[in-house]
């Protein structure tokens, strides 16, 4: 069964600024989740070249192959009954920013029965691009689209890392708050 979902998530920053944040976020998660035989195991992390990923473009970037060991992340009773290899997810990722492709598999237990392909295209717009992934008509008619229209839920932000607390030495930018994010035409997110 093939399920195709499209999420359009506008961001209050440029595509190049988001790239910096994405790289930081991935590095932080890998650092925090690696070690002790559990968490993330990095098998390969190397540049790739000459493999066009999308529409003959984006042929160079960074390739990673990771294994996520999930046994310590599930309750003990699940661990006790889970078949060997079922709590490992392999991730292969090609980051040719602004286009990224990630493939998740479980080759040890589920083999070909588990395959998730995530294609991300970061575009300099507010989610208006129609058919950004150039799908054929059959696939396009099967797409379930989820534009980001839900309001953010304000919570107490982390004082060390929060997009709502500006602390940059770069040109000033207003703090990101759910009630201030706007597209110029209408509020993108509004309080409920």
**84 domain-assigned:** yes
Q: Do residues 168 and 174 touch, judged by C-beta distance below 8 A?
A: no
pLDDT confidence of residue 184 = 47
**133 domain-assigned:** yes
pLDDT confidence of residue 27 = 82
* Span 46-64, pLDDT tens digits: 999 998 999 999 999 999 9
**155 domain-assigned:** no
For the chain, the domain total comes to 1
Backbone φ, ψ for residue 67 (5° rounding): -120, 125
Give 160's pLDDT tier (boundaries 50, 70, 90). low
């Amino acid at each position: 069964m093939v399920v195709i979902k499209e999420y359009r998530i506008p961001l209050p920053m440029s595509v190049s600024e988001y790239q910096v944040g994405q790289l930081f976020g991935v590095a932080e998660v890998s650092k925090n989740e690696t070690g002790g035989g559990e968490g993330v195991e990095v098998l390969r992390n190397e540049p790739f070249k000459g493999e066009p990923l999308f529409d003959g473009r984006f042929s160079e970037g960074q390739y990673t192959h990771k294994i996520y060991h999930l046994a310590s992340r599930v309750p003990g009773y699940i661990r006790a009954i889970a078949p060997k290899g079922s709590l490992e997810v392999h991730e292969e990722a090609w980051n040719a920013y602004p286009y990224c492709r990630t493939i998740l598999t479980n080759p040890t237990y589920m083999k070909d029965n588990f395959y998730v392909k995530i294609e991300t295209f970061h575009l300099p717009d507010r989610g208006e691009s129609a058919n950004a992934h150039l799908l054929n008509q059959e696939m396009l008619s099967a797409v379930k689209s989820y534009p980001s229209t839900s309001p953010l839920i304000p919570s107490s932000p982390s004082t060390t890392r929060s997009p709502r607390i500006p602390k940059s030495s770069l040109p000033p930018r207003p703090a990101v708050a759910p009630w201030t994010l706007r597209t110029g035409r209408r509020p993108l997110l509004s309080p409920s």
